[in-house]
Amino acid sequence: MGCHNFLSIRDFSPEEIRYLLDLAREMKAHPSAHTGALKGKTLAMIFEKPSLRTRVSFDVGIQQLGGFALYLSNAEISLGKRESVYDVAKNLERMVQGIMVRTYAHDIVERMAEYASIPIINGLTDYSHPCQAMADYLTMFELKGDAAGLKVAFIGDGNNVCHSLMFAGAQLGAHVWVATPDGYEPKADAVQWAVERGRQSGGTCTLTHDPVEAATGADVVYTDVWASMGQEAEKESRHRIFAPYQVNAELFGHAKFDALFMHCLPAHRGDEVTDAVIDSAHSVVYQQAENRLHAQKAILLELMHYREVLEPVREAELLRT
């Protein structure tokens, strides 16, 4: 792979995304095959936002590969406040072999990657959530065979999860529909990138304000909370605005008979999704959650092991040519 870090799905080629998904599937099928691959290596995990799935999947994942995880909360780090991003990066690069960052501003992970000489992994920012999208499409590959040609309907807020779902769909040839209330669309640059990459992969990205239009004939119906972390003050107003976008049995009924229901979790049951949908036979939310572990193990293995092994070989080959 051509990238030293895992900051955004936009940074890779479609072939590299497929390679990582294939690696994740292989590692899931043969969990003991890479035991010890990261022996003696430590992943620093910086959490400015709390998490269940991100923390457990990265912590367990690197341990299963023989390494260690070091949890650093906002109290220890306070990026850019107690200590500059530059100083944090330059300190940690001398003590650990990789850094996962779950934060607010996307430029923090970009600056961390600029300053640190070790791999940086985006565990979530306000702009994107690439590890989640890798788990999402891994789940689609397992249950639908591929993502190419699938209609994937995201219904709700055009947020970070939506962005990464669009990016991965564009890379893999999916037809991503995004239904949001007026004024809550995904960012224009994210849409533009997805549309342009889709022209190369056979995928599309379509925006609408009509949730029924998005859900009709969908292979996958996806939603997320209406108010993300940092938007708590908007909770009441968002609840009123997003109420028509609830994924309930009626809305889900417009999808294909074998459609999947997906949610990145945590879910606010009774808000963006009803119990009748999230607890139905169509729901694969816990398979998605488990696949965070396998997708991230593939990322960790690629960045912290394969790259270390292969890069010196590639450099030697370049010197001989």
Please list the active-site residues.
102, 129, 132, 224, 264, 292
**The tokens of 137 are what?**
């499409």
Whether 157 contacts 224, CB under 8 Å: yes
- What's the gap between Cα 94 and its chain centre? 27
Q: Quickly tell me which residue has 């696949």 as its tokens.
A: 291
Q: In angstroms, what CA-CA distances link 134 with 49, 64, 166, 195? A: 20, 19, 11, 19
**The tokens of 8 are what?**
């955004």
Whether 201 contacts 14, CB under 8 Å: yes
- How far does the chain reach from its first CA to its final CA, in angstroms? 20
**The tokens of 224 are what?**
């997320």
Bridge partners (DSSP) listed for residue 74? none
Question: CA 101, 297, 77: angle at the middle one, nearest 5?
Answer: 20
Q: Which amino acid, residue 71? A: Y
Q: For the chain, give me the number of helices (H) and strands (E)?
A: 13, 9
**The tokens of 160 are what?**
């970070």
DSSP 306: I
CA dist., res. 156 & res. 160, Å (int): 12
Q: What sign for the dihedral angle of Cα 185, 186, 190, 195?
A: negative
CA dist., res. 62 & res. 250, Å (int): 42
